[in-house]
Chain A
Amino acid sequence: MSWFLLLLQTSLRNIFSSFLNVVIGLIILAGTFFFVVGGSLVDSMDKAMSRSIIGSVAGNCQVYEASSQDSPAIFDNWQIPDLDPIPDFSKIKGPLMSDPNVSAVVPEGVNTAIVVYGNTIDQVLEKLRKAVSPGTRQPQAVVDSLKAHVRQMVSVIQADMGKVNQVAATGAFDPQAGEDLKKASSDEFWNGFDRDPFNHLEFLENKIAYLIPDSDQIFLSYVGTDLDAYRKAFDRMEIVDGQMVPPGHRGLLLSKYVYEEMFKLKSAHRLDQIHEALTEKNKKIAKDPDLQDLVKQNRLETREIVLQLDPLSSQKAVSILQATLNSKETGLSELLSVFFDTDDSNFEARYKVFYDQLAPLVELYRLKPGELLTIKAYTKSGSVEAVNVKVYGTFQFKGLEKSGLAGGLSLMDLMSFRDLYGYVTPDKIAETKSLEKAAGVTFVPRDQAEADLFGGSASSDVEQGQQKAINDKAEMGGGAKVQRVDLTQQVYSQDEIDKGVVMGAAILLKDPSRLKETLKSLQDTCDKDGLDLKVIDWQKAAGNLGQFVFVAKAILYFATFIIFVVALVIINNAVVMATLQRVREIGTMRAIGARKSFVLSMVLTETVVLGLVFGTAGSALGSAFVVFLNHAGIPAANEFLYFFFSGPRLYPLLNSGSLVGAFIVVLVVTCVSALYPATMATRVSPIEAMASDE
C-alpha cells in the first residue's frame, strides 16, 4: 500500500519535473477537452434531432409493405420512395397495437403534388364577376373599386410592354395584344362595363388576363395521415396560424415554412429574410452577397405589390412612400424601388414602415386559413388526380421551425391523401365492375372510376381549368362527370378512416429505449400474422437525414480516434525521451534494490497519473465549456446546421458518457503509449547509476 503511495507520490511529483511531461499533459488535456465537448455536442445534437424526427413525423419506427422496392424516406422531400400500399390499415393496426410497448400506430404516407395558383388579375376578375352577378351582388362602390383595380392593372401591363418594346426587337409582342390592351384601357370600354358586365369580363378574362403571367405552380410535399391520431401521437407539431383540422374532417395544414416561402408576398418574405440575417445572424448587407441579392430582387420586382393595389390603395402607398423617402416622385413602382433599395443603416426603419404602413394595404399571403386549395397529383397509374382541400392553418415542428429540410412537409387528412394517391384496391375494382353491370354502364373513364371509388371528390378537369381562380373550383367543374358534394363538411368515422389504403404507419413506443427489442418483436408479430410488413427504426425511415446523424457521429468518432492515435504516437515518443533522460535515476533505483517490476509500474503509473491529472483538467475545462455553451447556445450558421441543432441554437448538455469515455480513452491511451517506454526502462542497468558525470 505504502509502496503504491510511493509510486503515486513519485508520479505526481514527476509531472512538472520535465518539459516533456508538460507536452504530454497538454496533448491529453486538449484531447479530453475535445472529447468531452465533441461528445456532448454530438450527443446533444443526436438527442435534439432524434427528438425532432421521432416527434414530428417518423415515430420510433415505421412499417411498410414488405414487397416495396424502396423503404420509407420521410424527409427526402422530392424523392417519393416506391412503396407498395397496404390495402387495409384497420387490419394491421390491431396486431401492431397488441405489442405491450406500442403506444400508438398512426397511418402515414408521403406524396408530392402541384398547387396551381391563379393570376392576380384572375382573382380580381373573379371578385368582380361575383360582385356583378345576381346572387352575390355587391354595392356599386365595391364594383367601382374593383373596376378601378383592373384598370390599374391594365395600365401597369401597358407600361411594362412599352418598356420591353423599347428594348426588344419590334414584333416581340403580338400586335393584337397591344390593340386589346388599348381597348381595355379606354374610357369607352369602362363606361360601357356596367351595361354589359359579363361580355366585358369575358373579354378581360380571355384577352387580357394571360398577359400577366404571374400564375405560379407550387410543389407541395405532404404527409397524408389520420390527423387526429397524428395530433395525439406527435408532440412536436404545433399550430401557428389558423386551427387544427376538426376531428374526422378533410383538411390541409400547411407547413409554416412552406407558407412563408411560397404563399407570402415575395417582397415581404425577402424583407423577413434580410431582417433575420441582420438581427439574428449578425450579418451585414454591405458584406453579404446573398443579402445584396435579396435587396436587388426587391428593388426590381415591385410588380407583385403594384398589381395588388387598387387606385385608392395605390394613392395611399404613394403618399406613405413619399413621406418616408422624402421624395416628390409620383410613380408607385419607382417609389417602391427606391424604398426597397436598403442598406444596413436604413433597413430596420424601412422594415418597420413596410409592416406598419404598407402591409395593411396589401394581402401579405395569397392564401389564408379557411380557404380552399386545389391540389393535383399524379397517381401511380400516371393520371392526374385533383382535390379541393380546405386549408385550416399552418403548423411547424418544434425545433425544426426554420429548417427547409424538415419544413417542406405539410399535413393532409387521409381521405384526401387517398384520393390524390389514386390507388384502387382489387376488391374495389371488382365491386365497381359489378356496380357497372348492374347499372348497365358500359364505359367509365378510369380516372372517374377512381374518383367515384374514393368518395367522388376528385375532379379530373382541373387541367383545363388552370386559368380559373381556384377558390370556386368545386362549382366550376360542373356536374357532367363527377357528382359533387361539399366534402369539406363531411365527417368521417374512425372506422372509415382506418378502413382503407395507407402507405405505411408510424409506431410510437412507450419506452423508446427498448427500440431494438420492440422492432424485433413487432417484426415477429407481422411475420406470424402474415401481414407482409417490414418494420424499420426512425433513423432509417427518416431517409437521408436520419443517416446524417449517423454520419456526423461517425465522423466525430473517427476524428477523435485519429486524434488519439496521433496522441498515442506522440505520447509514446515523449515518454521514451523522458525515460532516456532518467536513465541515471532509474539505474540508481535499480542499484539500491528496486525490482524491474517496480520500474515498470513506476513508468506506467507516472504516465497514467499524468494522463489522469491532465485528463481531469481537460474534462473540467471541457465541461465548463459545455456549460458555457449551454448558456450561450451555438448559433446554427446555416440551414443544414439548423436541422442538426433542431433549432436556431444548440444548447448542448454535458454528457456523462463522454466524461466517462474521456477517462477510459485517457487510461487506454496512456497505458498503451507508456507500455513500450516502461519495458525499455526495465532494461536500464543498475550500472548506469555508477557512471560518473560526464
Chain B
Amino acid sequence: MAEIVSIQNVVKEYHLDKVVVPALRGVSLSVTQGDFLSIVGPSGSGKTTLLNLIGCVDVATSGTVLIDGHDTASLNDRQLTDLRLNTLGFIFQSFNLVPVLSVFQNVEFPLLLQRKFTKAERAGRVDELLEKVGLDKHTQHRPSELSGGQRQRVAIARALVTRPKIVLADEPTANLDSVTGENIIDLMKEMNRAEKTTFIFSTHDAKVMSHANSVIRLADGQILNGKGVPAGAH
C-alpha cells in the first residue's frame, strides 16, 4: 500500500527564552494509506508535537515531513492551509466545535471552505455522515446541547466530511469517560474500514491503544518501536 506519511530524522525544538526544549529528537516514521495507527507514550513524550508536524500546523526544526508526497518545509502558509483543508482531517481532544453553529453547520464548515460543492451536495454528505455517527436526530442542535461523546462524534463527522486521506486525532478520548472513549475509537475504526481513511491518533490509554492496527511508542521525543521503522534503528 502507498505511503501517505513519511517522516525522516525529524527534530523539533521549542525555544523558551534561552532554553531549548527538545520535543522530538530524530524521529523517522512511515504510515501507509488506510492504517489505523496509534501513537502512545507518557505525557510530555512528544505525541502532540509529532501530530502537529503531520497535521501541517507546525514545521520541523530539521528533517523532512512528507504528507501525501508534499514536503511541508517547502510550502507556504496558504499551501499548508489548503493541504490541511483537502488532505487532512482533525479530531481534537477538546472537540473544538464552533459554539455558535449547529451540528449540521459545524460539519458543513470545511465543505464551505472548499467552495466546490453545491448546497445539495453538501447537505447530502453532511447528512450521510451524521447518520453514520448516529447524530441524524441532532442536526440542528448546538454543541452546548450535546454530551461530550456526541460532540466528539460531530468532530469525527467534520473531520471526515471532506473525505481526507488522513485523519489526525490527538488524544480524542482524553476528555471522555472510558466507555464513551471506546465507543469513539470503535466509530473511528469503523470509518477507517468503510472509507479506507488513514487514522493517526495519540493516546496514553492502553485500552484505547488496543484497538489500533499498529502502535508507535514515544518516549522523551524518540520512538521506542515503530511500524516499518523498528525501535533502535539508525
Interface residue ranges, A against B (CB under 8 Å): 2-3, 6, 9-10, 13-14, 17, 584-585, 588-596, 598, 685-687, 689-690, 692-693
Interface centre among A584, A593, A598, A685 (most CB of B within 10 A): A593
Please determine whether B96 and A588 come into contact, CB atoms closer than 8 angstroms: yes
Q: Which of B51, B94, B100, B159 is within 8 Å of A13, CB to CB?
A: B100
A-B contact pairs, 6 of them (CB 8 A): A2-B122, A17-B99, A594-B81, A687-B58, A689-B90, A690-B93
Q: Is the interface of A mostly helix, strand, loop or mixed?
A: helix
Please determine whether B92 and A3 come into contact, CB atoms closer than 8 angstroms: no
**Cα separation A522 to B119 with both chains bound (whole Å):** 65
Q: Which residues of A contact B55 (CB under 8 A)?
A: 591, 686, 690
Q: Which residues of A contact B112 (CB under 8 A)?
A: 2-3, 6
Given contacts A2-B112, A588-B92, A594-B113, contact A686 B84 (CB under 8 A): yes
**Cα separation A14 to B99 with both chains bound (whole Å):** 9
Interface centre among B52, B57, B105, B115 (most CB of A within 10 A): B57
Given contacts A686-B84, A689-B90, A690-B52, contact A593 B113 (CB under 8 A): yes
Please determine whether B81 and A585 come into contact, CB atoms closer than 8 angstroms: no
**Cα separation A692 to B52 with both chains bound (whole Å):** 13
Please determine whether A593 and B82 come into contact, CB atoms closer than 8 angstroms: yes
**Closest CB in chain B relative to A66 CB, distance in Å:** 69
**Cα separation A591 to B109 with both chains bound (whole Å):** 12
**Chain A CB within 8 A of B165 CB:** no
Please determine whether A10 and B100 come into contact, CB atoms closer than 8 angstroms: yes
Please determine whether A595 and B78 come into contact, CB atoms closer than 8 angstroms: yes
Q: Which residues of B contact A692 (CB under 8 A)?
A: 93-94, 171, 174
Q: Which of B77, B84, B94, B96 is within 8 Å of A596, CB to CB?
A: B77
Given contacts A585-B96, A592-B85, contact A13 B101 (CB under 8 A): yes
The count of chain B contact residues (Cβ–Cβ below 8 Å) is 40
Given contacts A687-B52, A690-B52, contact A592 B57 (CB under 8 A): no
Q: Which residues of B contact A598 (CB under 8 A)?
A: 113
**Chain A CB within 8 A of B139 CB:** no
**Chain A CB within 8 A of B98 CB:** yes
Q: Which of B57, B86, B101, B115 is within 8 Å of A591, CB to CB?
A: B57
**Cα separation A9 to B106 with both chains bound (whole Å):** 12
Please determine whether B92 and A585 come into contact, CB atoms closer than 8 angstroms: no
**Cα separation A585 to B101 with both chains bound (whole Å):** 12
Please determine whether A592 and B109 come into contact, CB atoms closer than 8 angstroms: yes
Interface centre among B51, B58, B89, B90 (most CB of A within 10 A): B90
Please determine whether A588 and B98 come into contact, CB atoms closer than 8 angstroms: yes
Please determine whether A690 and B170 come into contact, CB atoms closer than 8 angstroms: yes
Given contacts A593-B82, A686-B84, A690-B52, contact A6 B109 (CB under 8 A): yes
**Closest CB in chain B relative to A301 CB, distance in Å:** 76
Q: Which of A3, A596, A686 is within 8 Å of B115, CB to CB?
A: A3
**Closest CB in chain A relative to B140 CB, distance in Å:** 13
**Chain A CB within 8 A of B158 CB:** yes
Please determine whether A593 and B85 come into contact, CB atoms closer than 8 angstroms: yes
**Cα separation A585 to B100 with both chains bound (whole Å):** 10
Please determine whether A685 and B57 come into contact, CB atoms closer than 8 angstroms: yes
**Cα separation A590 to B89 with both chains bound (whole Å):** 12
Given contacts A592-B158, A593-B82, contact A686 B57 (CB under 8 A): yes
**Chain A CB within 8 A of B175 CB:** yes
Please determine whether B93 and A687 come into contact, CB atoms closer than 8 angstroms: no
**Cα separation A7 to B58 with both chains bound (whole Å):** 27
Given contacts A594-B113, A690-B57, contact A9 B105 (CB under 8 A): yes
**Chain A CB within 8 A of B48 CB:** yes
**Closest CB in chain A relative to B157 CB, distance in Å:** 12
- Residue-wise, chain B 169-197 has the 8 Å CB interface mask toward A (1 for contact) of 01100110000000000000000000000
Q: Which residues of A contact B90 (CB under 8 A)?
A: 588, 591-592, 689
**Chain A CB within 8 A of B149 CB:** no
Q: Which residues of A contact B114 (CB under 8 A)?
A: 593
**Closest CB in chain A relative to B158 CB, distance in Å:** 7
Given contacts A2-B112, A9-B105, contact A17 B175 (CB under 8 A): no
Please determine whether B57 and A687 come into contact, CB atoms closer than 8 angstroms: yes
Given contacts A591-B90, A593-B114, A690-B92, 8 further A-B contacts (CB under 8 A): A6-B105, A13-B100, A588-B92, A592-B110, A592-B113, A686-B84, A692-B94, A692-B171
